[in-house]
Amino acid sequence: MWRRFLWWKRRDKELDEEIAHDLALDAEERVQSGMSREAAEAASRRDFGNVLLIQEEAREAWGWRTLEILAQDLRYAGRMLRQSPGFAATAILTLALGVGVNTAIFSIFDQIAFRPLPVKDGARIMGIYQTFRGRYSRRMHGNPHMLSYGEFEDYQAQNRVFSEMAAYAEIRRLTLAGAQPEAVSGVLVTQDYFQVLGVGMALGRSFTAEETASPRNVAVLGQALWQRRFASDPGIVGKTVRLNQALFTVVGVAAPGFAGTGAASPDIWLPLPIQPRVMADLPPPEPQNFLAAENFGWLSAIGKLRPAVTASQAQTQLRFLAAQMDAGYPGRATEVSVMPVTFLSNPDRRAAVLIGGSLVMAAVGLVLFVACANVANLLLARATVRQREIAVRLSLGATRARLMRQLLTESTVVALAGGALGLALAQKALALGRTFSGIPNLDLSPDLNVLAYALLLSIAASLMFGLVPALQTTTPNLAGALKDEGSIAGHHIQKSRLGGRLISLEVAICCVLLIGAGLLVRGLLNLNRLDPGFAVKNVFFTSLDLRAQNYDEVRSTAFYRDLLARIDAEAGVHSALTGVTPLRGVRSVGVQVEGQADASALVETYTNTVSSGYFDVLGIRLIQGRTFTEAEAARGDPVAVISDAMAQAYWKGHSAIGRRFRYGAIGRLQTAEVIGVVRDVRSMHLASPDGPFFYVPAAAAAPLTVVTRSASGRPLEGTIQRIAYQLDPAVLVTVRSSERNLEQETAPARLGAGLALLLGGLALALASVGIYGVTAYLVSQRTHEIGVRMALGAERSNILRWILAEAMRPVIVGMALGLPLAAAAALASSSLLLGAHPLDPIAFLAVTLFLSLVAAFASYLPARRALRVDPIAALRYG
Amino acid sequence: MRRDEPQDRVELLQGTLDMLILRTLKWGPEHGHGVGQAIRHSSLELLQIERGSLYPALHRLEAQGMIASEWKASEANRRAKYYRLTAAGRKQLASEQSKWKLLVRTIARVMRTA
């Protein structure tokens, strides 16, 4: 644009020079034929013609006019907006809300799914994901797309598309010893990890080839841990730290600002081969040495593209390499995806986020639509005021295209102002939201994507709300408008009908959003009132990292026994042990029931290992039989307590007590005898009962969690921490209240309901403004008619009723449209409703009532104005 | 010579100025003033063209790609903008010329019968 402008400026100067040249030559000729110089110059100028006109004409030839018209339209638009600040403020604010909420959601989306890592050359860092198809069996630790060490080495050695590759794995259970043991997050990495991510060291060095080839106890600290635990000790390099009972020498501290590749910054990095030493606490089926395990996925892999290589070229080559590897596993087909590493790179979770995100984007899109419909209504109402002005300009010879251009320039100015304000609002909201999200690495500052999105949205909005009013306003109806018969001219009635249609649309959209919110709230209320079947209040779960501290079964048993005894004695409470914490995890095994039809098949069934007191502590009611005795639990006798649902599933109509079933994996089946039946609980999802479930006595070989219920309601976190610390200061103790677990379980639902309420409320507020505006317009249009009716003796209440009926008609049409739409949407997404019935009558009724009331109120306010009409004035001037 | 107004000067027909400019430039590059002079001379001073009106026409033709321009020193050693015919301009001139001939013949035939 600027260059074009400069070009125009240059052409202007050239033309001046050409004209001067012509005048000079011509005058020269005249002088030569005997004229005086002054007379010659004057004659030449006269003969030449009107210089200004010629310049104008020439400029038009280069398209200079387009720019001039634009500047003129912009000036004109600015003047119009200044003249009606009420309209301008309403329109800009409405659009700002619409664009703002869209931009905010898009920002989150963009950050999570599209923005490259905030490191050097982030966009060229690719993640490598494998998806297996065909017949295959594979073990994994992490997610199914992860690589085995062998696979990573093959890709690394044979690819020609990446300049460097690195693999890494997160370690979940890592305890840093000290005066107060602390859980730290660690990442095992290959040698080139820091190289690929372009991260330097603040102190010391990163890992050497030897350290990443064979197990060496060395570590690189993250900035946060270095500052927090070691007070930014400048001499930290060379010192040792104790992790899970092993000593590690610190060789470096990562540069500040490096936040790893995921949602949270790792505290510490360790070389990959060290894996067996820090992951000793895994239950038996997992291999001891992950690096040696074949066909075992546990590594995330990243690579930096060589210059001029694209992601799809890289993918093609890796697919070729994967096909070669598949030769060793008949029937298996590996599909490799290579895509830029983002905040959320796991392809499965990314797909889930994309689906959920699209739903949310659709909802916020509807809000913007409502905002646009509103502004369109405002423009239509304003069109009455401008009808004369437009008609005068049309009859003076302005073309329709020229007027359209001007009106659209006006709406674009409004839209861009609204968009800019919306972007600012979105940034404010996101900055607030970021502090609440608790995700440290979430960077929600606007990038080019977000800016482009906001701009695009604003321009689309300006067309959405500006085009129809512009077309309407410039429809020539000169005679009527000039004679000021606007209010009875046919197309005015039509215009208010168009306004009514927009209101219907807004109301329909409000219906869908509010009913969605209503259903979510209903589901949420259900969850809160719901009895999960086990006690939640005053219950605490304490997890201990005994295996990481090299406790064997004998020592673990003793530790748990001592801990439970001391907690119970000191706090006057009851404690028990459990393998799985309700609402925090699930465990399932195959089950075969003796004497059943299909006795050879294993049916996947949920299970838990618990100590004898578990049912008492959590208040899980016994229906039949008995629970474990302490002796049975201690010996690990082959007995089981089953849930009511399991009893119903296998022994319906008979007593389940004394029956036997087998459980485990084929070849390693254990037998258990049913000694009791307990009530069904909801330990996995609050929305539904667990289904068939059985409990077996806990063995101290597997990690167990202590569950404690305080009778007094006194918080127990401190007491439990202190007692455990007295028993062994090296053990990491984490105490969580069950209420907090419950809160976490319902957090996404609460977030969803909150968002839906917010959007529904926003749409409703916008629609109310729209209804208000259209009714006010209606009243101002009908002043004459109202005057006539009043003069003929109509009661004020009659007039009010008539206006309200007119105003509410589009609202009712909108609801008639919106209710079935909402029902359809609810039925289609019933799985997201937290167990609320998709056609829940209370939600539908409440929303319908609420919407009607708000709409009635929004139209009542301007309708009152009709009552103040003075019949005489209305008849004379209306 | 310019002072004595010839009695039978003719107004330029609408839309023919472009053709005249193209025709003039066929002989070689020329600046704006030169084009005007050439048209006047070859019409034996009978065509009445406002000198200024040449320039919008020249700029229009340039914007359409019929002619191209270049700044050069003129005979009098002044800087002047020289226009020359482009390939598109040459083609345009040929088609305008044949259209013009047809027009002249047709009009002449009609006028003869009158």
Q: Is the pLDDT of residue B24 over 60?
A: yes
Instruction: Tell me what pLDDT residue A154 has.
Output: 92
Question: Is the pLDDT confidence value at A139 over 60?
Answer: yes
Burial of A467 (0-12, 13-18, 19+ CB in 10 A): middle
- Angle ∠(A288,A293,A295) on CA atoms, nearest 5: 140
CB atoms within 10 A of CB A448: 8
Backbone angles phi, psi at A328, to 5 degrees: -80, -10
Rounded-to-integer distance, Cα A664 and Cα B26, Å: 98
Residue contact B81–A50, C-beta within 8 A:
no
Token pair of A714, please? 């006194």
Instruction: For residue B60, give the chain A residue with the closest CA.
Output: A61
Angle in degrees, 0-180, between the axes of helices A490-529 and A448-473, rounded to the nearest 10: 140
- Nearest residue to A300 (alpha-carbon basis) of A288, A310, A290: A290
d(CA A304, CA A126): 6
User: pLDDT digit string (tens) for A628-653?
Assistant: 888 887 787 899 999 999 999 888 88
- DSSP one-letter string for A87-116: HHHHHHHHHHHHHHHHHHHHHHHIIIIIPB
Check residue A491 and give its pLDDT.
Answer: 42
Average pLDDT for chain A? 84
Residues of B in contact with A17 (CB under 8 A): 79, 81
- For A93, phi and psi rounded to 5 degrees? -65, -45
Taking alpha carbons only, the member of A571, A547, A150 closest to residue A560 is A547
A344 CB near a chain B CB, below 8 Å?
A: no
**Chain B residues within an 8 Å CB radius of A64:** none
| pLDDT score of A477 | 60
Asked whether residue A484 carries a pLDDT value surpassing 60, the answer given is no
Compute the count of residue pairs across chains A and B with CB atoms less than 8 Å apart: 66
Kindly indicate the confidence band of residue B3, based on its pLDDT and cuts at 50, 70 and 90.
very low
Chain A closest-CA separation from residue B15 CA (Å): 15
Decide if pLDDT at B10 tops 70: no
Task: Give the model's pLDDT for residue A488.
Answer: 41
Confidence (pTM): 0.66
Q: What is the per-residue pLDDT across A60-81, written as a single tens digit (0 to 9) for each?
A: 777 666 777 788 888 888 888 8
Mean pLDDT of A368-388: 81
B80–A61 C-beta distance less than 8 A: no
> Closest residue of A to B74, CA-based?
A21
Which residues of chain B make contact with A47, given a CB cutoff of 8 A? 50-51
- Residues A589, A607: contact at Cβ < 8 Å? yes
pLDDT reading at B85 higher than 70: yes
Q: What is the predicted pLDDT for the residue at A221?
A: 93
Interface test with B, best of A13, A46, A54, A55 (most B CBs within 10 A): A54
Please say if the pLDDT value at position A262 is more than 80: no
Cα–Cα distance measured from residue A124 to residue A518, given in angstroms and rounded to the nearest whole number: 45
Where does A681-791 have alpha helices with state H?
717-727, 738-781, 783-791
pLDDT at A599: 60
Contact flag B52-A50 (C-beta cutoff 8 Å): yes
Distance of alpha carbon B49 from alpha carbon B97, whole angstroms: 20
**HEC profile for A772-831?**
HHHHHHHHHHCHHHHHHHHHCCCCHHHHHHHHHHHHHHHHHHHHHHHHHHHHHHHHHCHH
Query: Which of B50, B63, B74 is closest, CB to CB, to A62?
Result: B63
Check residue A246 and give its pLDDT: 85
Closest CA to A674 of A696, A692, A689: A696
A393 φ, ψ (degrees, to nearest 5): -65, -40
Chain B contacts of A49, Cβ < 8 Å?
A: 50-53
Residue appearing with tokens 């927009």: A502
State the ipTM, two decimals: 0.82
Q: Which of A55, A15, A702, A765 shows the shortest CA–CA distance to A367?
A: A765
User: Cβ contact (<8 Å) for B53 and A54?
Assistant: yes
Q: Is A31 an interface residue toward B (CB < 8 Å)?
A: no
What average pLDDT does the segment A654-667 reach?
Answer: 85
Residue A741, token pair as written in the block = 């677990």
